[in-house]
Chains A and B, each alone.
Chain A
């Protein structure tokens, strides 16, 4: 069954604008991760946030986690055309120790 669900499914913005993607999940988690995928092949890890953390930053990326609402958000500030990609959240928790479950992803398009 699907654990993480991203919203929106697709997002189109102009360069320089901020992009916000959301992820909701159903069961308790140990950690939540965000990944990026270009051109439908290998994924690249962006950020891992543990269940006892509320916010993490990495460069232009900011991730928040609200365990009471079972949701997370990924904010990309000052977006660039090179940020165009699919973004996935993945959750580790529930009844399957170690099994990382991915959502359907958000397709982000940044127009120059």
Chain B
């Protein structure tokens, strides 16, 4: 596609429910990143995938968070048993490889009530 696509753009959920966020990277991009951004804050690294290598999960804040990527295409970020502190914009980015510039999607605004 022309750019990184994320869906949904907005998600409102109730505390305790599970949510799944989707990211479609730019075709041919081997690296894919997930970040979280709370209101007025910087980007918090969550996880990245690079080709067939094991993902770097060092930024996932708890075991309620998990992510998967199918080959070098779509990725899903799953948050189980959502909490109010999970409310944030979740940003996905892809790049041609590690240590290259990132192309960001427009993000998913998650609101946990």
Pick from A35, A40, A45, A105: contact of B89, CB under 8 Å: A40
Task: Please tell me if the beta carbons of B102 and A102 are within 8 angstroms of each other in the complex.
Answer: no
Contact A99:B45 (CB < 8 A) given known A41-B107, A42-B104: yes
Task: Please tell me if the beta carbons of A45 and B48 are within 8 angstroms of each other in the complex.
Answer: no
Q: Taking the nearest CB of chain A, how far is it from the CB of B21, in angstroms?
A: 14
Task: Please tell me if the beta carbons of B42 and A31 are within 8 angstroms of each other in the complex.
Answer: no
Interface extent on A, as a size class?
20 to 34
Majority DSSP secondary structure for residues of A touching B: strand
Q: Taking the nearest CB of chain A, how far is it from the CB of B33, in angstroms?
A: 7
A residues 60-99 with Cβ under 8 Å of B? Answer: 88, 90, 92, 96-99
Q: CA separation between A101 and B4, bound complex, in Å?
A: 20
Q: CA separation between A2 and B43, bound complex, in Å?
A: 10
- B residues contacting the other copy or chain, number (CB 8 A): 28
Q: CA separation between A105 and B38, bound complex, in Å?
A: 13
Task: Please tell me if the beta carbons of B101 and A96 are within 8 angstroms of each other in the complex.
Answer: no
Task: Please tell me if the beta carbons of B43 and A99 are within 8 angstroms of each other in the complex.
Answer: no
B residues 1-29 with Cβ under 8 Å of A? Answer: 4
Number of A-B contacts defined by CB within 8 Å: 62
Q: CA separation between A90 and B43, bound complex, in Å?
A: 9
Q: Which residues of A contact B56 (CB under 8 A)?
A: 96, 98-99
Task: Please tell me if the beta carbons of B101 and A33 are within 8 angstroms of each other in the complex.
Answer: yes
Pick from A31, A35, A100: contact of B33, CB under 8 Å: A100
Contacts A30-B99, A98-B56 aside, 13 further interface pairs with beta carbons under 8 A come to A40-B37, A42-B107, A43-B93, A44-B104, A48-B100, A48-B101, A88-B42, A90-B43, A98-B31, A98-B48, A98-B50, A99-B48, A104-B42
Q: Can you offer 29 A-B residue contacts whose CB atoms are under 8 A?
A: A33-B102, A35-B102, A35-B104, A40-B89, A41-B89, A41-B106, A41-B107, A42-B91, A42-B104, A43-B93, A43-B102, A44-B104, A45-B101, A48-B100, A48-B101, A88-B43, A96-B56, A98-B31, A98-B48, A98-B50, A98-B56, A99-B48, A99-B56, A99-B58, A100-B33, A102-B42, A102-B43, A103-B42, A104-B41
